Amino acid sequence: MNITPLGEIDTGDARYLQQPENDVRLQMDDIVFNNTNSVRWVGKTSVWTDGPAAFSNHITRIRLPKAINPEFVAKQLQLLCLIGYFSAHCRKHVNQASISLTFLKHQVPIRIPQVGIQDLLLHELASMEQRRRTIVASLEESTAARHTLQSAVLEEAFEPGDADTSALSDLVEQPLHYGIVQTGEDTAAGVPTVRAGDLSHGPPDPTQLKRVTPAIERKYVKTRLTGGEVLLSIRGTVGYVAVAGEDLKGANVSREVCVIRPGSATDPRYLALYLSSPGGQQDLQSRVRGVAQQGISLRELATIRVPVRAEQEQRELVAHLEGQLKRLGDLALHISDALDRAEAMHRVLLENVFCGLLETTDADSRDDPESASELIARAREEAAQAPRPLPKPKKMKETKQPLEGSEDVSNLVATLELVGEAMTPAALLDGSDLPNDDVERFYRAIVDAIGGRRISEAQPDSTTVLLQLVSR
């Protein structure tokens, strides 16, 4: 796990051994290839740039002659990982996958031009990658600025001393309760249950919640939701806040979450906004206890002081704050989307270098006449072996508008525009923002895109399916 998805090495959580079992060591400029990982990330590759180090059996060490730049080979291996080549050729075990040493040595396609050309292409790649990193850094600064602005908006709304306060226990119509202590196994026919992490981005999506068996849930009727409750994480990560929507009616919560039912004089949205404010968060954190499992007791939580305002004033403040926070939330979505695309550009840059620029080296290749673009094309075709046949799109009446409003369709179209060439279904799924484990959703989007005349399907041979943009 010390090799990142971007092909870098992060030794922040490296382990240190008294005496390794053998004398095999890494040295500077060795390539480290992740031979065992999940199917998605087997094959991550980087170059070791530090002094002697041990390494686990999840890593294959590759040591090259001086005439070959290790960075040049490592980047090609990392590209093969990103386009799914190793995912297609790995051996699948229980909960993990592996690439054998024999396969790595004898079957993986690698292109080696002359040393000067290696250095030239790496220099060009480094220049493009630096520009990408600059964009990412700018977007991350924007994210930090948005968080600061959001805190400032809430801090101004709940300035200390600008209103009378009351203990939280005096503002609720029922005592505070936490939920199910032991939720057990996830059950398809069970009751959706909100856990602390489900509150990290606001109101949770009921379809994404763990489901607890009814036999366990019925013992916790006091925390069964009806909608309108304030949900607060009180164990593990303390301070996530959300208001339960109508779509959570009938759901329950785990012991990590406290259910707060405000009385009629307190708007639950107002209470949630205060608890999310810098003052509310500071008050919560000051009451957290524990080392291995941090949390806040219900008794401590009940004593938190909340600013008291008239009902009309609460509603006006909520409307004002929700308008501002929505604009900041929309900005966050745009920044997140831009960050995802900037991260995806890493693979695009590698493809541009090894598929395009390397074609100029054909005349200089002494041993392998196959061009780099052919190598990568072959690798991508092999990565999509036996592609799943696409369902035939339903016939649409001429009067029906193309399905251009679908976010999933727009996502796939944007990915094809970014790459600039036809892609196999496996490569398109990998490069898009759609969940990799939701294949049915991906193929529904493909059918919609074909039916909406946004994407067309081609089959250059009996085993390959390619998807491309419909020219307009």
Q: At what angle do helices 278-285 and 268-276 cross, to 10 degrees?
A: 70
Q: What is the pLDDT of residue 269?
A: 94
Among 151, 129, 82, 145, which residue's Cα sits nearest to residue 335?
145
Q: Examine the domain organization and report whether 278 and 397 are in the same domain.
A: no
Q: Examine the domain organization and report whether 168 and 276 are in the same domain.
A: yes
207 by DSSP, 3-state: which? Answer: helix
Residue 265 inside a domain? The answer is yes
Tokens of 271: 């209470």
Q: Residue 153 CB: number of other CB atoms within 10 A?
A: 17
Exposure string of 416-450, with b = 16+ CB inside 10 Å and e = fewer, is beebeebbbbbbbbbbbebeeeeeeebbebbbbbb
pLDDT tens digits, residue range 257-288?
999 999 999 999 999 999 999 999 999 999 99
The more confident residue out of 366 and 201 is 201
Among 132, 24, 17, 109, which residue's Cα sits nearest to residue 375?
109
Residue 444 inside a domain? The answer is yes
Q: Highest mean pLDDT: which of 20-24, 207-211, 336-340?
A: 207-211
Q: What is the pLDDT of residue 400?
A: 37
Q: What is the pLDDT of residue 372?
A: 47
One-letter identity of residue 279: G
Which burial class, exposed, middle or buried, applies to 16 when counting CB atoms under 10 A from its CB (0-12, 13-18, 19+)? exposed
The mean pLDDT value for 205-230 works out to 94
Residue tagged 């954190």 (tokens): 285
pLDDT tens digits, residue range 424-470?
887 787 777 777 666 678 777 888 888 778 888 887 765 677 888 88
Which burial class, exposed, middle or buried, applies to 306 when counting CB atoms under 10 A from its CB (0-12, 13-18, 19+)? buried
Residues 6 or more apart in contact with residue 374 via CB below 8 angstroms: none
Question: Are 64 and 73 contacting, i.e. CB atoms less than 8 angstroms apart?
Answer: yes
Give the domain CATH number at 413.
1.10.10.10
Among 145, 202, 150, which residue's Cα sits nearest to residue 324?
150
Identify the domain boundary among 308, 340, 372: 308
Question: Are 98 and 34 contacting, i.e. CB atoms less than 8 angstroms apart?
Answer: no
Identify the domain boundary among 279, 308, 337: 308
The mean pLDDT value for 183-191 works out to 91
pLDDT tens digits, residue range 287-322?
998 776 789 999 999 999 999 999 999 999 999 998
The mean pLDDT value for 162-176 works out to 90
The model's confidence at residue 390, banded by pLDDT at 50, 70 and 90, is very low
Domain residues for 396? 384-472
Residue 313 inside a domain? The answer is no
One-letter identity of residue 29: D
Tokens of 368: 């392998």
Q: Examine the domain organization and report whether 303 and 418 are in the same domain.
A: no
Q: What is the pLDDT of residue 401?
A: 39
The pLDDT of residue 415 is above 50:
yes
Question: Are 254 and 196 contacting, i.e. CB atoms less than 8 angstroms apart?
Answer: yes
Residue 336 inside a domain? The answer is no
Question: Are 230 and 268 contacting, i.e. CB atoms less than 8 angstroms apart?
Answer: yes
CA 406, CA 237: separation in Å to the nearest integer? 35
Among 15, 66, 68, 7, which residue's Cα sits nearest to residue 33?
7
CA 246, CA 112: separation in Å to the nearest integer? 61
Q: Examine the domain organization and report whether 287 and 422 are in the same domain.
A: no
Question: Are 257 and 178 contacting, i.e. CB atoms less than 8 angstroms apart?
Answer: yes
Residue 453 inside a domain? The answer is yes
Q: Examine the domain organization and report whether 176 and 294 are in the same domain.
A: yes
Q: What is the pLDDT of residue 119?
A: 82
Q: Examine the domain organization and report whether 298 and 398 are in the same domain.
A: no
Give the domain CATH number at 248.
3.90.220.20
DSSP string, 55-87: --TTEEEE---TTS-HHHHHHHHHHHHHTTHHH
Tokens of 24: 């095999």
Read off φ and ψ for residue 322, nearest 5 degrees.
-65, -35
One-letter identity of residue 401: Q
What is the pTM for the complete model shown?
A: 0.56
Total number of domains constituting the chain: 2
Residue 335 inside a domain? The answer is no
Which range has the worst mean pLDDT, 33-37, 70-74, 161-165, 222-226?
161-165
Q: Examine the domain organization and report whether 169 and 302 are in the same domain.
A: yes
The pLDDT of residue 394 is above 50:
no
The mean pLDDT value for 47-69 works out to 90
pLDDT tens digits, residue range 117-155?
888 888 888 888 888 888 888 888 888 888 888 889 898
**Percentage of the chain with pLDDT > 70?**
86
pLDDT tens digits, residue range 336-389?
888 888 877 878 888 877 765 434 434 344 444 444 455 555 555 655 554 444
Identify the domain boundary among 273, 308, 343: 308
Residue 140 inside a domain? The answer is no
Q: Examine the domain organization and report whether 389 and 264 are in the same domain.
A: no
Q: Examine the domain organization and report whether 295 and 391 are in the same domain.
A: no
Tokens of 132: 């990408």
Q: Residue 191 CB: number of other CB atoms within 10 A?
A: 22
Q: Residue 254 CB: number of other CB atoms within 10 A?
A: 24
CA 441, CA 448: separation in Å to the nearest integer? 11
Q: How, if at all, do strands 252-253 and 191-194 pair?
A: parallel
Beta bridge partners of 233: 257
The pLDDT of residue 418 is above 80:
no
Residue 213 inside a domain? The answer is yes
CA 302, CA 297: separation in Å to the nearest integer? 9
The model's confidence at residue 68, banded by pLDDT at 50, 70 and 90, is confident
Q: What is the pLDDT of residue 463?
A: 61
